[in-house]
Amino acid sequence: MTTTHDIVRLHVNGDLREVGVPTHYTLLETLRYILGLTGSKQGCDKGDCGACTVVVDGRPTLSCITPVWEAVGTEVITVEGLASADGPHPLQDEFDLNGAAQCGFCTPGILCSASALLERTRAPSREEIKDALAGNLCRCTGYTKIYDAVEAAARRLSADDASADAATEGGASTGGASPVETDREPGGV
Amino acid sequence: MLRLPPFRYHRPSSLAEALELKGEHRSEAMYVAGGTDLVPNMKHRLFEPAHLVALKGLPELRGIEERDGSLRIGAAETLTDVAKNKAVLEGFPALAAAAGHVAGPQLRNSGTLGGNVCLDTRCTYYNQTAFWREALGFCLKKDGDVCHVTKVGKKCVAAHSADTPPVLMTLDAELVLAGPEEIRSVPVRDFFVADGIVNNQRLPDEIVTEIRIPLSSVGRRQAYTKLRQRKSIDFPLLTVAIAADMDASGRVRSIEGVVTGLGSRPRLLTGWSEIAEGHALDDEVVEELAERAHKQCHPLENIIVDPEWRRAMVPVYVKRALAQLRAA
């Protein structure tokens, strides 16, 4: 059978993208080779390793085995969509500060799985973190620093939530700065 | 990288439309729900349909609710949703456990209960790339005429590797299948056949629309255990599901055990009622049940883990499941 093309409309990282794509492309191929979003990695390419994980409608999803048409009508968030205008996502900061990435190949997928977890709960237990990341293989770190980083990001996000609540209630505001003390600057190794 | 073969993708909005599309494209078309089994298989060129008919958007295949004395689970409900559903957790905890143990979180977010029930069988010589399989001259299940597992056999022995069917069997669940002509229901325990090439009775045009579990099974004590290499993501090397009715004094009224991960279909363990019925599940009875299970299971080298070890694990996992059952 010859390749045919379709026009698909995708919501990716908050933008509506309308692109021509071979009908049989996966979501991952569309992200990487049509939209130029190469953060999501093509690892095993058959649903085993989790490096291609993106968040579809709030749920971590393997983009390498998701036909692109299944993403139409959903909200897709890739690792490129985690940072905001204010700076990196707390998970990204904490991965840096905790040394949670070594070769970095699994990191985008893990950040996506972890960000979906932290959207569901701001206070995940160590077990919940392990379960949430069970489908993301990392061959470098041994996971400990990854779990540490997710825990640290969770603490920061819940502290941010608390200060945002306090601000809306007219209480003392920390002015958006993270109230969690750290003796290391982001970016320092 | 593994590219998919070219195909057209159809997203029907009703069951009737899905059946019609399949009727139009016949053997050129396949149904796809979560795609977690079919898409990797297509990447391995085990299937090369020119048309895919997507089932996930069909409203007829959604919802989990009590209806006519059964818990009705739409076949396109994801394994994540089944594992977390309150009615499933309360009434059928072994099903929630089995659904929650399939693969890893991302695969459960896409994969569906209907898809798990219809999971293709797996084998060391089958779940490989076309290049790999060609180098070995292909196999009985796909493109060839030799079985590399048994060497001489003319019957495919690929392993049934789905987590939920054994539990569904012990709960007397049935499947509803919608075809172009009729809608029929089949007890899960009759659904599977001992042929690794196609190991179930679903006709190519039929769609599994729902799974029904009788509410009369709610009171049963249930247990589920799974052996796998990595507890985070793997297919089962062995799965044991047990359900039992006990009287107030703790004596077994009826008991059923099903194992899978070994042969081409789940195996209902025989001889258990004679051992256990009318008795308490004491250590002696547990030992006998485990021994009877061990005698019946003879795994082959169809998956890349030592069959002798898998066989030795049968009584171990039966005993663990019975311990769960006693504590339930």
Q: For position B29, which CATH number holds?
A: 3.30.43.10
Q: Please, which residues 95-154 of chain A have a Cβ atom closer than 8 Å to chain B?
A: 113, 131-132, 134-136
My answer on whether A76 and A94 are in the same domain is: no
My answer on whether A94 and A146 are in the same domain is: yes
pLDDT digits (tens, 9 = 90+) for B208-250: 999 999 999 999 999 999 999 988 899 999 999 999 999 999 9
Residue B16, pLDDT above cutoff 90: yes
Residue B328, pLDDT above cutoff 90: no
CB distance from B130 to chain A under 8 Å? no
- The mean pLDDT of B144-171, rounded to a whole number, is 95
What is d(CA B257, CA B274) in angstroms, rounded to the nearest whole number?
13
Nearest by Cα to A174 from A157, A158, A162, A186: A162
Q: Cα separations (Å) of B305 from B7, B239, B311?
A: 35, 15, 11
Which positions in chain A touch B81 (Cβ < 8 Å)? none
Of B44, B50, B109, nearest to A60 by CB-CB distance is B109
Residue written as token pair 């709610």: B218
My answer on whether B182 and B318 are in the same domain is: yes
What is d(CA B121, CA B142) in angstroms, rounded to the nearest whole number?
12
- The mean pLDDT of B2-13, rounded to a whole number, is 97
What is d(CA B283, CA B326) in angstroms, rounded to the nearest whole number?
11
- What pLDDT, on a 0 to 100 scale, did the predictor assign at position A170? 61
My answer on whether A12 and A71 are in the same domain is: yes
Residue B52, domain extent: 8-57
Quick check: is B129 in a domain? no
pLDDT digits (tens, 9 = 90+) for A57-68: 999 999 999 999
- What pLDDT, on a 0 to 100 scale, did the predictor assign at position A48? 95
Q: Which two tokens stand for residue B75?
A: 């076949």
The gap from C-alpha B320 to its chain's centroid, in whole angstroms, comes to 20
- The mean pLDDT of B76-93, rounded to a whole number, is 98
Which positions in chain B touch A136 (Cβ < 8 Å)? 104
Residue A22, pLDDT above cutoff 80: yes
- What pLDDT, on a 0 to 100 scale, did the predictor assign at position A174? 45
Please state the domain count of chain B: 2
- The mean pLDDT of B113-137, rounded to a whole number, is 97
My answer on whether A97 and A162 are in the same domain is: yes
My answer on whether B79 and B171 are in the same domain is: yes
Computed over every residue of chain A, the mean pLDDT equals 91
Looking at the whole model, is its pTM more than 0.80? yes
Max distance between CA atoms of chain B, in angstroms, equals 62
Quick check: is B269 in a domain? yes
Sheet holding B29-32, edge to edge: B8-10, B51-54, B29-32
Report yes or no: A137 and A106 within 8 Å, Cβ to Cβ: yes
Task: Give the ipTM.
Answer: 0.95
What is d(CA B312, CA B314) in angstroms, rounded to the nearest whole number?
6
Residue A95, domain extent: 90-168
Q: For position A12, which CATH number holds?
A: 3.10.20.30
Computed over every residue of chain B, the mean pLDDT equals 97
Q: For position B215, which CATH number holds?
A: 3.30.390.50
My answer on whether A50 and A97 are in the same domain is: no
Residue A180, pLDDT above cutoff 50: no
Report yes or no: B46 and B122 within 8 Å, Cβ to Cβ: no
Output the CA torsion A157→A163→A166→A167 (10° steps): -110
- The mean pLDDT of A114-142, rounded to a whole number, is 97
Nearest by Cα to B31 from B61, B1, B2: B61
- Which residue of A24, A120, A147 to mutate against B (max B Cβ within 10 Å)? A24
Residue A51, pLDDT above cutoff 60: yes
Sign of the CA dihedral running A140, A144, A145, A151: positive
pLDDT digits (tens, 9 = 90+) for B198-210: 999 999 999 999 9
The Cα of A62 is separated from the nearest Cα of chain B by a number of Å equal to 6
The Cα of B105 is separated from the nearest Cα of chain A by a number of Å equal to 6
What would the DSSP string read from start to end of B46-81? S---SEEEE-TT-GGG--EEEETTEEEEETTSBHHH
My answer on whether B51 and B63 are in the same domain is: no
My answer on whether B213 and B290 are in the same domain is: yes
- What pLDDT, on a 0 to 100 scale, did the predictor assign at position B152? 87
Q: Which two tokens stand for residue A76?
A: 């897709």
The gap from C-alpha B261 to its chain's centroid, in whole angstroms, comes to 9
Of B8, B110, B232, nearest to A134 by CB-CB distance is B232
Quick check: is B29 in a domain? yes
- Which residue of A27, A38, A70 to mutate against B (max B Cβ within 10 Å)? A70
Which positions in chain B touch A2 (Cβ < 8 Å)? 6
Output the CA torsion B212→B217→B221→B225 (10° steps): -20
Q: Which two tokens stand for residue A69?
A: 């048409």
Residue A183, pLDDT above cutoff 70: no
Identify each DSSP E strand in B13-69 by its residue range: 29-32, 51-54, 64-67
Q: Cα separations (Å) of B98 from B12, B144, B253?
A: 30, 34, 24
My answer on whether A54 and A94 are in the same domain is: no
pLDDT digits (tens, 9 = 90+) for B252-271: 999 999 999 999 999 999 99
* SS3 call for A98: coil
Residue B166, pLDDT above cutoff 70: yes
- The mean pLDDT of B37-41, rounded to a whole number, is 98
- What pLDDT, on a 0 to 100 scale, did the predictor assign at position A176? 44
My answer on whether A98 and A130 are in the same domain is: yes
Nearest by Cα to B88 from B165, B166, B168: B168
Report yes or no: B80 and A61 within 8 Å, Cβ to Cβ: no
Sheet holding A59-62, edge to edge: A15-22, A5-12, A75-77, A53-56, A59-62
My answer on whether A95 and A164 are in the same domain is: yes
- The mean pLDDT of B300-326, rounded to a whole number, is 96
3-state DSSP helix/strand/coil percent for chain B, to nearest 5? 35, 25, 40
